[in-house]
């Protein structure tokens, strides 16, 4: 009698179930995108800009959630955010490549290229050591950007309006088109993230968080899992940086400052690690709280933000995503 | 003879400072053998298991598995060669469900990790359920591991070790922490799951009744050395083993 239990797989049923799940996911993504696209058309400009920035920043936090699922929290995602932003702005200004989609992809790719050499090192560390190492990298990046006159030093530099698929963006609707581009990319990344989280690699990431030793004794590689997550997080961060700079039209070293990284962590903690949608909702919540707090309590908006986070940690320790995610849905 | 051995440990030695945890250990295991490692606490049993599985590197000696030198390999590489182990304290993913723990084990063993294929696809679920049923854990599949009693955790720990295609299985005190009434049923479950497969089994055990019933051979440890190796009745009857292991005075 064999120890390994070989049960005849049911590929048809499995494929059908997988396809049904994927179809629902895709439809959900498309539905959310369509809804927001319509809302953006009718909404005020300040709101579309706010959601655009929330979606761009949410991408960085999505990367952090990717790492959080493996049990580590990076405090230096500002580095990849800045690399993505600077890459897009420099490619635009120096190389004359102006397509928004291409610039976003280039931002993500260059962030991965910059992060990749550090991935094997960081994959060895956990807990506070991982957090501090990533923070150190972001602060080194900040220091370098501050000192490099070619990149505008502490003032940074401007970037003009990008094009989309060879078409110049109309003055009246440039903000709305960038809103759609950012939302489209964020939706796509959210769908891909859900697929990844539910995959075998996603499950191994959760197992690494729970019991790294056992994963190794079962033949899995905890370091490989963490390296992959770090690179995915870098891509998300770079993408977010590129999209943010296209909407802002300006970049400076503050993209890599530790408080910027802290805001991304804030959103990730607020969201929890279960739900992808919660990441973007949390990012919108942060932007809303920040905007209204700045308006009504100009010198103490951080206080409102802190109280908000305290409330969430006290009453929703697994993040707002736990409100609608089943406990066993991992 | 040595060509037929699945595992061959030769001259293994391990020190932790002044403490000799293992000295000149020579143990071979053939396919299909059920070898029990016995000895009092600190005798070197778990150190031996940890060296075989790559968690500890021996200071001296060599370990060969299926003729290949595995002394310097990592636990992961040794696992992929066909060595699986369970732990004295079950090493599980406490916040995941029983089912997810088995799915993790299957995914790690299969070495086909995908960022696209769902972990809970139908064929994987069917295989995981079959493993759970074989170990009598089917009714626990949706429970979080953190909520399980000790005996169930032990079984799950062993079930996870056996989801691959192990050729050598090391069980570190499979019945420790389990009530007296549950020990034999647990061993029966494990042995039934093993069936007639030509798997070499090394199990660390303190209960001599378990040893006598399930071991085809016994290796006795004391002070990091092997003091007896052979037929269970003969080894357990030896004076030195009785003195060091079973507590009988000479």
User: What are the chain A neighbours of B105 within 8 Å (beta carbons)?
Assistant: 218
Give the per-residue pLDDT at A2: 35
What is the nearest CA distance from A325 to chain B, expressed in angstroms? 15
Would you say A217 and B91 are in contact if contact means Cβ atoms under 8 Å apart? yes
User: What are the chain B neighbours of A214 within 8 Å (beta carbons)?
Assistant: 91-93, 160
For the cut 60, the answer to whether the pLDDT of residue B250 exceeds it is: no
Mean pLDDT of chain A: 91
Between CA A202 and CA A164 the distance in angstroms is 34
Q: Which of A232, A231, A234, A212 is nearest to A222 (CA)?
A: A212
Q: What is the dihedral of CA A60, A65, A67, A73, to 10 degrees?
A: 90
**Residue-by-residue DSSP string for A131-161:** HHHHHHHHHHHHHHHHH-GGGTGGG-EE---
User: What are the chain B neighbours of A11 within 8 Å (beta carbons)?
Assistant: 122-123
- Cβ neighbours of residue B84 under 8 Å, at least 6 residues apart? A217, B161, B162, B164, B166, B168, B169, B170
Give the per-residue pLDDT at A15: 58
Give the per-residue pLDDT at B39: 93
Cβ of A3 within 8 Å of Cβ of B75? The answer is no
For the cut 80, the answer to whether the pLDDT of residue A9 exceeds it is: no
Of A3, A21, A196, the CB nearest to B195: A3
Mutate to test the interface with A, among B115, B147, B156 (most CBs of A within 10 A): B115
Of B84, B131, B161, the CB nearest to A5: B131
Give the per-residue pLDDT at A323: 85
User: What are the chain A neighbours of B94 within 8 Å (beta carbons)?
Assistant: 210-211
Would you say A166 and A99 are in contact if contact means Cβ atoms under 8 Å apart? yes
A63-117 tens-digit pLDDT? 999 999 999 999 999 999 999 999 999 999 999 999 999 999 999 999 999 999 9
For the cut 80, the answer to whether the pLDDT of residue B58 exceeds it is: yes
Give the domain ranges of chain A.
27-323
Mean pLDDT of chain B: 91
Between CA A220 and CA A210 the distance in angstroms is 13
Cβ of A220 within 8 Å of Cβ of B107? The answer is yes
For the cut 70, the answer to whether the pLDDT of residue B55 exceeds it is: yes
- CA A79 to mean position of chain CA atoms: 13
Of A13-22, A149-158, A248-257, B67-76, minimum mean pLDDT range: A13-22
Give the per-residue pLDDT at A321: 87
Confidence of residue B31 (pLDDT cuts 50, 70, 90): very high
Cβ of A214 within 8 Å of Cβ of B123? The answer is no
Cβ of A2 within 8 Å of Cβ of B195? The answer is yes
pTM of the full structure: 0.90
What is the nearest CA distance from B162 to chain A, expressed in angstroms? 7
A274-320 tens-digit pLDDT? 999 999 999 999 999 888 888 888 777 778 878 888 888 888 888 88
Q: What is the CA radius of gyration of chain A?
A: 20
Angle value at C-alpha A139, between A133 and A145, nearest 5 degrees:
140
Between CA B157 and CA B160 the distance in angstroms is 5
Cβ of B100 within 8 Å of Cβ of A206? The answer is yes
CA distances from B201 to A248, A308, B49 (A): 65, 56, 12
Confidence of residue A171 (pLDDT cuts 50, 70, 90): confident
Give the per-residue pLDDT at B3: 45
Would you say B173 and B205 are in contact if contact means Cβ atoms under 8 Å apart? yes
Q: Which of A214, A17, A219, A239 is nearest to A111 (CA)?
A: A239
What is the nearest CA distance from A309 to chain B, expressed in angstroms? 24
Pairing state of beta strands B19-30 and B5-16?
antiparallel
User: What ipTM was reported for this prediction?
Assistant: 0.89
Give the per-residue pLDDT at A23: 87
User: What are the chain A neighbours of B76 within 8 Å (beta carbons)?
Assistant: 216-217, 219-221
Helix (H) or strand (E) segment spanning residue B29 = strand B19-30
Of B120, B134, B164, the CB nearest to A219: B164
Confidence of residue A19 (pLDDT cuts 50, 70, 90): low
Give the per-residue pLDDT at A80: 98
Q: How large is the average pLDDT for residues A190-216?
A: 96
Give the domain ranges of chain B.
2-82+165-244
Between CA B91 and CA A251 the distance in angstroms is 48
- For residue B37, give the 3-state DSSP assignment: strand
What is the nearest CA distance from A66 to chain B, expressed in angstroms? 13
B120-168 tens-digit pLDDT? 999 999 999 999 999 999 999 999 999 999 889 999 999 999 998 899 9
Copy the structure tokens of residue A78. 């500002």
Angle, helices A258-271 vs A45-68, to 10°: value is: 80
Would you say A87 and A146 are in contact if contact means Cβ atoms under 8 Å apart? no
Give the per-residue pLDDT at A325: 78
CATH 3.30.450.20 fits B2-82+165-244, yes or no: no
């Amino acid at each position: 009698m064999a120890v390994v239990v070989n049960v005849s797989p049911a590929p048809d049923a499995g494929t059908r179930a997988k396809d049904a799940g994927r179809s629902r996911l895709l439809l959900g993504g498309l539905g959310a995108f369509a809804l927001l696209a319509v809302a953006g058309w009718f909404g005020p400009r300040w709101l579309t800009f706010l959601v655009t920035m929330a979606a761009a920043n949410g991408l960085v936090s999505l990367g952090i959630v990717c790492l959080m699922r493996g049990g580590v929290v990076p405090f230096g995602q500002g580095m990849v955010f800045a690399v993505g932003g600077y890459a897009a702005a420099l490619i635009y200004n120096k190389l004359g490549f102006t397509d928004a989609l291409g610039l976003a992809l280039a931002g993500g790719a260059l962030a991965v290229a910059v992060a990749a050499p550090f991935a094997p090192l960081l994959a060895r560390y956990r807990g506070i050591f991982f957090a501090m190492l990533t923070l150190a990298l972001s602060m080194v990046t900040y220091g370098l950007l501050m000192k490099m006159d070619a990149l505008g030093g502490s003032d940074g530099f401007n970037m003009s309006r990008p094009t989309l698929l060879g078409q110049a963006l109309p003055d009246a609707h440039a903000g709305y088109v960038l809103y759609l581009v950012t939302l489209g990319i964020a939706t796509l990344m959210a769908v891909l993230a859900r697929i990844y989280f539910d995959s075998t690699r996603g499950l191994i990431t959760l197992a690494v968080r729970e019991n790294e030793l056992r994963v190794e004794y079962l033949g899995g590689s905890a370091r490989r899992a963490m390296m992959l997550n770090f690179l995915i997080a870098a891509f998300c961060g770079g993408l977010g940086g590129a999209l943010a700079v296209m909407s802002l039209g300006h970049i400076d070293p503050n993209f890599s400052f530790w408080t910027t990284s802290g805001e991304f962590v804030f959103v990730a903690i607020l969201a929890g690690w279960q739900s992808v949608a919660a990441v973007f909702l949390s990012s919108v919540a942060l932007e809303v709280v920040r905007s209204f707090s700045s308006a009504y309590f100009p010198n103490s908006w951080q206080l409102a933000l802190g109280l908000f986070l305290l409330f969430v940690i006290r009453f929703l320790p697994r993040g707002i995503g736990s409100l609608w995610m089943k406990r066993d849905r991992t | 003879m040595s060509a037929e051995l699945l595992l061959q440990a030769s001259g293994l030695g391990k020190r932790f400072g002044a403490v000799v945890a293992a000295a000149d250990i020579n143990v071979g295991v053939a396919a299909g053998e059920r070898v029990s490692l016995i000895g009092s606490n600190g005798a070197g049993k778990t150190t031996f298991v940890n060296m075989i599985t790559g968690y500890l590197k021996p200071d001296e000696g060599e370990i060969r598995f299926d003729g290949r030198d595995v002394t310097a390999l990592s636990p992961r590489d040794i696992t992929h060669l066909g060595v699986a182990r369970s732990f004295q304290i079950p090493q599980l993913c406490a916040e995941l469900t029983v089912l997810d723990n088995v799915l993790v084990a299957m995914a790690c063993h299969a070495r086909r990790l995908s960022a696209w294929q769902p972990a809970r696809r139908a064929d994987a679920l069917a295989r995981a359920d079959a493993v759970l049923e074989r170990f009598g854990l089917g009714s626990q599949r949706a429970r979080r591991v953190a909520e399980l009693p000790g005996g169930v955790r032990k079984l799950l720990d062993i079930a996870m070790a056996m989801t691959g295609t192990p050729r050598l299985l090391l069980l570190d005190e499979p019945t420790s922490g389990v009530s007296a009434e549950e020990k034999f049923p647990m061993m029966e479950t494990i042995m039934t799951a093993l069936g007639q497969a030509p798997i070499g089994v090394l199990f660390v055990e303190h209960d001599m009744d378990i040893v006598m019933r399930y071991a085809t051979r016994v290796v006795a440890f004391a002070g990091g050395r092997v003091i007896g190796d052979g037929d269970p009745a003969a080894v357990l009857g030896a004076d030195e083993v009785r003195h060091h292991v079973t507590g009988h005075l000479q």
